Structure 1
Amino acid sequence: MIRRLLHHSTPKARRLLIAELAFIVATAVLQGVVFLMLVPLLQALFTGDTAAARTWLLALAATAAACAAAHWTASQIGMRASTAVLDSLLTRLGDRLVELPIAWYATDRSGQTTQLATHGAMFAASAPYAVLRLILAGFITPGTVLAGMYLFDWRLALAMTATVPVMWLVFRWLRRGMERDDAEHAAAVAETSNRVIEFARAQPALRTAADGSIADRLVEDALQRQHRAYRGLLVTGGAGIATFTGVVQLALTVVIVLGAYLAVGGSLEPATFIALLVLGVRFTEPIANSGALGGGVAIANTALGQLDELLALEPLPEPARPREPQDWSIAFEDVTFGYGADPVLRDLSFTAPSGRMTAIVGPSGSGKTTVTKLVARFYDPERGTVRIGGVPVPELGTAAVEAAVAPVFQDVYLFDDTILNNVWIGNPALSRDEVIAAATRARVDEIADRLPDGWDARVGEGGSNLSGGERQRVSIARALLKDAPIVLLDEATSALDIGNEIAIGDAIDAAREGRTMIVVAHRLQTIMTADQILMLDGEGGIRESGTHAELLAADGAYARYWRERVDATGWQLTPTR
């Protein structure tokens, strides 16, 4: 555990942690010396040697004072070390979460990261003083006592030494068992947290579902798994601690029996036997108490192990010297990609000209959104190359791609803040007036006008106070404010009212000026006015490509798709009489 903490700590935290451990060890050694001084002190008292007793008592008091000073210093440094180590762990965690590719977040990690950032990191940072200090005292102090016992009676000291390997093996077995069960419990807690968060977020949908929905079952299954893992942890811990305590008490029994035998036989002075018996009790008591603390080390190791796993994840490769794009065109060259299963895209090739709008249409599941995610470098393709401005995306680097690309996806997330601030994050360097001007181009002013607090109205967690279309307008405003040369838009308008659909259409027209746009298009107006249309075939490739007029003239798959869409928009409900 200490090695892991030192590895994850900053130089300042590492120095504090080492100093803390040094004073903890010094305290434990001095405490052992104090106990050893009891032997000559008791011998002097039993024999009536007042002068010797006074000398040993003064020496014992001086050593106890030194021990108290070391303990106080360790506690002061320990508080500072815990804070510095916690800051180091959270910084490492935060840096890694920023470095990981967006693909890592495709699975909900909120429960795992929350558990690690709160309980796990806090416990690991405080473990050196709260747990390890007591464990070190539980072994170093008895070790000092044991070494000193050889000065008084080698036979009792040897008997006690013989029990040490047994106690150490049982302690390691206890710690490993609790570490294994705590890892399982931590995974169960993270899964439960994910399911509960999912359950809370999905309440609007669940309120319309019948009892016993899949969400109910998932939460219940996760809770049951957590309960089983916790019971297993309690059983392992209880049985292990009881076994360890029994072994420690057996060691004390061996010392008592052997000492009594030697004292009765006359080879050990009664005064020495009584004094050594006191040492024997002080030898075993801290060790017995440290057994219960082995689980604390296991819990800290679990948290540090999770952080190690997170740090071991490979981010997307970054160039040593990023290249510059020639323009803002986008090209796919024989790109194949899937989400860990069958490929969604197979040998896909196309070019989206710089400063033009390319609309992508096709059946559900054909890979339309996947194309935009590859451009934004949420993933790298399994085979083939994605280029921006003639340069492969990995050679540009993630930072350059993020700066050049403004994505607007269907699943828009807004922070629980004001409308204005949710747009402002697109470019924090601009003034309030500039932000409002960009938001007005995306028709967000209409949303602000209908709310009592205007631009300063809070949108709620995730944007819950706004409709889906209004959230997408805010997201488009962010893209306009960012003023990125490439805009990726997953235009989902099938569930929007006519007002929001028109507003989003106007926002798209505003974002189109001078930018390279790739739009997963659903609106007929967007499709028809695109400079280029790519129709995916549902098997990972392109069935047809061209302008709207060219594809209609070809009278192929796109023409049929277009007629179906036009017919669908013309549906009317016939009134009943």
Structure 2
Amino acid sequence: MIRRLLHYSSPRARRLLITELVFIVATAVLQGVAFLMLVPLLRALFLADMAAVEPWLLALAAVGAVYTAAYWFAGQIGMKASTALLDSLLTRLGDRLVELPVAWFGPDRSGMVTGIAIQGAMFVSTTPYSILRLILTGFITPGTVLVGMYAFDWRLAVAMTVMVPVMALVYRWLRAGIARGDAAHSAAVADASNRVIEFARAQPALRTAGDGSIADRLVDEALHRQHRAYKGMLITGGAGIASFTGVVQLSLTVILVLGAYLAVGGSVDPATLIALLVLGVRFNEPIVGAGDLGGGISLARTTLDQLDGLAALKALPEPARPATPRDWGVEFRNVSFGYGGAPVLRNLSFTAPSRRMTAIVGPSGSGKTTITRLIARFYDPEAGTVSIGGVPVPELGTAVVEAAVSPVFQDVYLFDDTILNNVWIGNPELGREEVIAAAARARVDEIAERLPGGWDARVGEGGSKLSGGERQRVSIARALLKDAPIVLLDEATAALDIGNEIAIGAAVDAVRAERTLVVVAHRLQTIMTADQIIMLDGAGGIRESGTHTELLAAGGAYAHYWHERVGAAGWQLAPPA
């Protein structure tokens, strides 16, 4: 445990933690020495040897004074060490999350990450002083007593020594059982947190579904699993602690029986026996307390195990020296990818020329969004190569790709901040007026004019105060502000009315001559103005590619798709008779 804490500590936290541990060990040893001094002191008192009482009282007072000072320093350093350790844990967590591929993050991860950041890290940071200190004291102090016991009566000391491995085995069993129960409970808590977050975010849809919806059932089942896991953890922990306490009390019984036998046989005088029995009690009491706290160490280990799991996740490979692309064209060469399951893309090959607009069309589930995610390097392909400017994406590195690509996906998340700041994060280095000008190109100025506070109006968590189309406009404004050479639009205008779609289309047209645009779209106006259209076949490959005019003239699958869309767009309700 100590080694793992040091592993996750910053240099400052490591120094403080080691210093704290030194003082904890010192106080534990001093406490054991003080208990040992009770033997000659009590023996002198029982024998009424007052000449021997005074020096032992003075020695005990001196040890007590040193113990008090060491205990105070341990407490002061412990508070600083806990703060530094908490900062280290959160920093390591944040640094690791930044390193992980974007694709790792999903709704099912929020509960676990939230649990580590809010509860787990805080508990671990306080563990050295609130739990580990007491456990170390609970074993070091009895260890000191046991060593000193040999100086007074080796037979009682041997009896105590024999019980040590038995107590150690039961303690390990106790700790392992609590660890298993806490791991199951942590998983259940994470699942319940995910379901509650999902339930809160999906309220508009759930309220239309009414009572008894599937979301209600999923939340209820997750909370019941959490309750069962917590109950199981309590039962396992309670049984383990009771067993450990019983074994420790058994060791005290052995000492009492052996002491009584020795006293009856005359091997030990009553005064010495009483003092040694007091020492035996002081040997057992800290161990019982340590056993009660063993579960706390197991709880802390669960959080450290989760951090170890994050550290073990394989990040995308990064080059030692990022290459430089010759231009901003995108090429897929024999790319296959399937999210770890059945392939979504199979041997896909195409080129999206630099400073041209490429539209990706095809049936639902054909891999359109997957293509944009591979370009943005949320994933690396399982086979084949995705290149930008003639350089494979892994040789460019994630930082270069992130700077070069500006994605706008269907799922838009806005921070609970102002409209202006939600656009500003697209390029924090620009001034306020430049941000407003870029946002106006995406018609975000109309949103600002409508809300009290204008550009400084808050949008609510996730953009809850805005409509879906308005959130989409803010997201598009971010992409325009970023001014990246490659822009990915995944159904970016799907939530807009026709007026705003035209406005966004005009903004995109204004920048498309200078950027590589890859657009996933179903809207006819977007498709027909593309420089190149890639039509996927639904089986992971390309059915047709070319310009709108060429594909219509070919009379193939795209022409059929186009005429269906045009026909659907022209449907009208018959007027009443």
TM-score, with length taken from structure 2: 0.99
Q: Deviations over 1:474-506 (max 9, x none)?
A: 111111111100000012545543233223322
**Amino acid corresponding to residue 530 of structure 1 in structure 2:** A
Q: Deviations over 1:365-389 (max 9, x none)?
A: 1111111100000000000000000
Deviation at 1:28, TM superposition (A): 0.4
Counterpart check, 1:443 vs 2:407: no
State the distance in 2 between where 1:508 and 1:344 align: 29
State the distance in 1 between where 2:555 and 2:55 align: 110
Deviation at 1:510, TM superposition (A): 3.2
Alignment partner, residue 462 of structure 1:
462
**Amino acid corresponding to residue 357 of structure 1 in structure 2:** M
Contact 1:418 1:455 in 2 (8 A): yes
Aligned with 1:324: secondary structure?
Answer: coil
Sequence identity percentage: 77
Deviation at 1:107, TM superposition (A): 4.7
Q: Deviations over 1:326-345 (max 9, x none)?
A: 00000000000011211111
Deviation at 1:458, TM superposition (A): 1.2
Contact 1:469 1:501 in 2 (8 A): no
Pair 489,98 (structure 1): closer, same or farther in 2 beyond 3 Å: same
Q: Deviations over 1:60-116 (max 9, x none)?
A: 100011111111111111111111111111110000001100110135311100001
Contact 1:96 1:311 in 2 (8 A): yes
Aligned with 2:340: secondary structure?
Answer: coil
Deviation at 1:509, TM superposition (A): 2.0
Counterpart check, 1:313 vs 2:286: no
Alignment partner, residue 549 of structure 2:
549
Alignment partner, residue 360 of structure 2:
360
State the distance in 1 between where 2:452 and 2:198 align: 31
Aligned with 2:108: secondary structure?
Answer: coil
Counterpart check, 1:387 vs 2:387: yes
State the distance in 1 between where 2:213 and 2:306 align: 32
Alignment partner, residue 264 of structure 1:
264
Counterpart check, 1:158 vs 2:161: no
Alignment partner, residue 120 of structure 2:
120
**Amino acid corresponding to residue 332 of structure 2 in structure 1:** F
Alignment partner, residue 81 of structure 2:
81
Q: Deviations over 1:12-61 (max 9, x none)?
A: 11111111111101000000000100111112122222221100100010
State the distance in 1 between where 2:528 and 2:511 align: 17
State the distance in 1 between where 2:494 and 2:415 align: 25
State the distance in 2 between where 1:443 and 1:48 align: 96
State the distance in 1 between where 2:521 and 2:47 align: 100
**Amino acid corresponding to residue 397 of structure 2 in structure 1:** G
Stretches of structure 2 that go unaligned for 5 or more consecutive residues are none
State the distance in 1 between where 2:515 and 2:216 align: 46
State the distance in 2 between where 1:269 and 1:171 align: 35
Aligned with 1:108: secondary structure?
Answer: helix
State the distance in 1 between where 2:34 and 2:367 align: 74
Counterpart check, 1:183 vs 2:183: yes
Aligned with 2:449: secondary structure?
Answer: helix
State the distance in 2 between where 1:556 and 1:239 align: 72
**Amino acid corresponding to residue 400 of structure 1 in structure 2:** V
Contact 2:472 2:495 in 1 (8 A): no
Q: Deviations over 1:138-181 (max 9, x none)?
A: 11111111111111111111111111111111111100100111
State the distance in 1 between where 2:410 and 2:95 align: 28
Deviation at 1:444, TM superposition (A): 1.2
Aligned with 1:151: secondary structure?
Answer: helix
Pair 25,10 (structure 1): closer, same or farther in 2 beyond 3 Å: same
**1:96-495 pair list within 5 angstroms:** 96-495=96-495
Contact 1:492 1:522 in 2 (8 A): no
Alignment partner, residue 527 of structure 1:
527
Deviation at 1:575, TM superposition (A): 2.2
State the distance in 1 between where 2:27 and 2:101 align: 47
Aligned with 2:325: secondary structure?
Answer: coil
Contact 1:473 1:507 in 2 (8 A): no
Contact 2:336 2:343 in 1 (8 A): yes
State the distance in 1 between where 2:484 and 2:408 align: 12
**Amino acid corresponding to residue 376 of structure 1 in structure 2:** A
State the distance in 2 between where 1:12 and 1:33 align: 32
Q: Please, what is the CA RMSD of the aligned residues?
A: 1.1
Aligned with 2:538: secondary structure?
Answer: coil
State the distance in 1 between where 2:385 and 2:333 align: 5
Aligned with 1:208: secondary structure?
Answer: helix
Deviation at 1:546, TM superposition (A): 0.6
Alignment partner, residue 14 of structure 2:
14
Contact 1:322 1:397 in 2 (8 A): yes
Alignment partner, residue 53 of structure 2:
53
**Amino acid corresponding to residue 451 of structure 1 in structure 2:** L
**Amino acid corresponding to residue 9 of structure 1 in structure 2:** S
**Amino acid corresponding to residue 396 of structure 1 in structure 2:** L
State the distance in 1 between where 2:299 and 2:453 align: 48
Aligned with 2:358: secondary structure?
Answer: strand
**Amino acid corresponding to residue 92 of structure 2 in structure 1:** R
**1:29-68 pair list within 5 angstroms:** 29-68=29-68
Contact 2:407 2:479 in 1 (8 A): yes
Counterpart check, 1:510 vs 2:496: no
State the distance in 1 between where 2:434 and 2:422 align: 14
Counterpart check, 1:558 vs 2:558: yes
State the distance in 1 between where 2:197 and 2:281 align: 51
Contact 1:441 1:510 in 2 (8 A): no
